[in-house]
Structures are given as C-alpha cells and as structure tokens.
Structure 1
C-alpha cells in the first residue's frame, strides 16, 4: 500500500510539472509572438522561476497523489464519475463553489504572507520576479507552495464534484495562475474595463499587486479585495506591455 501511495504521489508530481512546463511555455511563446522582446534580459530570473516552480510541482503533487490514490483505492473523497448522481445544474455550481472556496483561501493566506516576517521568510521568493513572467506562476518558497497545495485536495473531501468539473477547476486554476503573471493582458479591453472586469481578476489587476504589494490579493475574483478595502484597481504594464 505504501508503495502504491508513493507511486501515485510521484506520478502526480510529474503531471503537475509537465502541466506547468506546457502551460507556462505556451504562454511564454505567445508572449514572444505578441510582445516580442518583453522578456529580454530576464533569462537568469526565468531560470530561477522554473527551478522554484518545479520544486513547487513536487509539493503540489504529493497531497494530490495521496488523494488520487485514496479516491481510486479507498473511495475516500466526494469525487464522482456518474454524471446522473447529481442534477446537471450542480456541475457549474460545483465549479463555482470550488473557485470561490479556493479564492477565499488564497486571499487570506496571501494577505497573511505579506506580513513582514512571513514575507521575508517565504513570499519574497515570488516577488523576486520583477517583473513577473509567464514562468512565475508557481515560483514559490516551499512553505508557500504547501499552503496552496492542500486546498483542492481538502475540498474533494467536503464538496461533491464530478471528475470532469474537477478537471475544469484545475484548468482554470492553471490558466489564470499563468496568464495573470505574464506581463500583458490577453483579455479584450471591453471585458477588463467593463462590468465583468470589476469582479474578475486578470493580468491588469494582478499587475497592481506586483507594483504596490499591499493590495489586490485575490486569485479569481475581486470580491474579498472589495469587501476588505484592498482593491486598488488595475495596474500598468511597463513600456511595451499592453
């Protein structure tokens, strides 16, 4: 049993690492096409981002692999495969529940990480990316990576979710994590500056966090930032960024 759990954890870590390399690599390539020269001179930083991110992939993969084994071998979780087990309307609702829960956890732990001692001990690794690139999404100190790695594995014990809906949550998590750091806005201006943009976080919103540090702590939604008075609006990209 122990060997099976270990194998599952290592396999999941490899999957997370490959997912990171493909997604960040894809957005980095898109940046080269859409914003040529944007990452010029940042090669040493990018190498550090990749190294920290691959270490984070190992940390993220361990609890995910243990939970995956528990789901398959022991039926521990509330992940289900029969689409008829719950009403169809619950599929999008479960995705929103997971995103809202993850966003809440991220907001408060992220804000906590900005306390001076914790920032110096852990979160400074992420903010060492100046400016952040598409490779920085998982560039975390191990302690910070651990705080993020436990969220989704914990939620699958609490909130029922279809395996496809869980895949949707993980896809959104990956894409938003990378695109919010790539240094330019991929969404159209009418969306970012319109009604949807007032509640959704995109690269423009997260850029302000990397500029000022003490604001814009959310991951997907601006709800907690608005409720707690930490929303400072949209940031500006350096010359050559859109």
Structure 2
C-alpha cells in the first residue's frame, strides 16, 4: 500500500512539473512573440485556449509514466540513469544526448507519419492540426492517444541507454524548447543559422510550419535526416 501511494505521489509530482514547465516555457515564448511579431496571434485566443487545455491533459499522460520510472530509479535502481560523473567516459556525455535525440527523432518521424494515415489522423492527430496556424502554446496540444505515443519514448530509453541525470535534464530541456519554438510561427534563430549547412539538418519553426501548411511533408522532430532519406523534406515555409 505504501508503495502504491509513493508511486501515485511521484506520478502526481511529475505531472505537475510537466504542466508548469509547459506553462512557463510556452508563456515565455508567447510573450517573446508578442514583442518580436506583434499581432501574429491576433484573433487566435479561442484556439490558444484549446491548445492549453489539450496540453494540460497531455501533461498528465507524460507525467504519469515519467513519475513511475523516477520512482523505480530512486527506490530500486531500475534504469540506466547514473549520477557519478566518472561512471562513464566524459566523451560519452554529449554522445548520450545525441543518442537520445536521434532515437526520439526516429520514433517521432515514423509514428508521426503513421498518424497521418486517414483513420488515425481523424481519431487523434487532427487535434494537433486544428492549430492553424500553430502558436507557442501548441507544442503539447495532442489528443490523448497521440500524447501516449510521445510519452513512452524517454521512459523506455532510460532502461536501454545509459545517461547521466544532468544529460537527461538536457535532453528534456531541448525537447521542451524545440517543441515550443518550432510551433511559434517564426524563426527565433538567426537567419544565417537557419540557412546554413548545419541549419539545413535541423528542424526549425519555418520547416515545421510547412508541415502544418501542407501536412504530408516535414515530419521530423529535431533533425531532417529521415525526411531527407525518405523524400518527405520540402524545405522551409514560404511565409
């Protein structure tokens, strides 16, 4: 009984953390948008309220498995998360971040393409695409079925790929920031970076905007590797 209570507390705490992280990050970039692109979200208040509602529901779907895994790590050492800096070579620290991002990106690309099949689009993914145009509040605006496909990735990876707890925090920070900035309708990154050789391999707001405009292209999350390999990369939005 005490174990179940501890799991419930961990799940509730992680849900609260995910929700607050979403509200703070999306709120910050929405504020930045109001300063850098005044009027960009004009007339979108009803849409934004829906985005926030779906996103807070998604916070629970992300938070519950994360809380269970966090409890298992702390109480039973279930995962491959480590805390000692010398437990693995230092060169492995950035590599582990890349491995997590690439694995997540791979899962996202293929599950995202699957969600664009007519049946599953109607059941689940249409909720996300109701954001037209997407805003800084839309990053977690998912139907529960779609949120579940994203919520299981990192909790499963920590059982397979060793990672320092600080690097795991970096992965979650990158995931949050790119999720929000790629939906806010304008590129906050310098033009020279977006149009550079490095930028041509990264997902940016203008790249993801084209996905929301045209649907059947630009499916990636962090990188354009799978889009390029599979012929679904159509470049940046013309907006």
TM-score, scaled to structure 1: 0.97
- The equivalent of 1:69 in structure 2 is 71
Unaligned runs of 5+ residues in structure 2 are: none
Deviation at 1:45, TM superposition (A): 0.2
- The equivalent of 1:240 in structure 2 is none
- The CA distance in 1 between the partners of 2:42 and 2:206, in whole Å, is 20
- The CA distance in 2 between the partners of 1:121 and 1:200, in whole Å, is 29
- The equivalent of 1:120 in structure 2 is 122
TM-score, scaled to structure 2: 0.99
1:15 paired residue among 17, 20, 40: 17
Superposition pairs for residues 122-201 of structure 1, below 5 Å?
Answer: 122-201=124-203
- The CA distance in 2 between the partners of 1:122 and 1:171, in whole Å, is 26
Question: How many matched pairs?
Answer: 237
- The CA distance in 2 between the partners of 1:93 and 1:234, in whole Å, is 28
2:226 paired residue among 224, 234, 240: 224
Unaligned runs of 5+ residues in structure 1 are: 238-242
- The CA distance in 2 between the partners of 1:166 and 1:178, in whole Å, is 19
- The CA distance in 2 between the partners of 1:38 and 1:174, in whole Å, is 22
Question: Which deviations, in whole Å up to 9, do the C-alpha atoms of 1:36-55 show, x marking residues without a partner?
Answer: 11111000000000000000
Q: Secondary structure at the match of 1:70?
A: helix
Deviation at 1:197, TM superposition (A): 1.4
Question: Which deviations, in whole Å up to 9, do the C-alpha atoms of 1:141-193 show, x marking residues without a partner?
Answer: 00000000000000000000000000000000000000000001101111111
Deviation at 1:77, TM superposition (A): 0.3
What is the CA RMSD across the aligned residues, in angstroms? Answer: 0.5
Q: 1:80 touches 1:160 (CA, 8 Å); kept in 2?
A: yes
1:211 is the counterpart of 2:213: yes
Q: Secondary structure at the match of 1:143?
A: helix
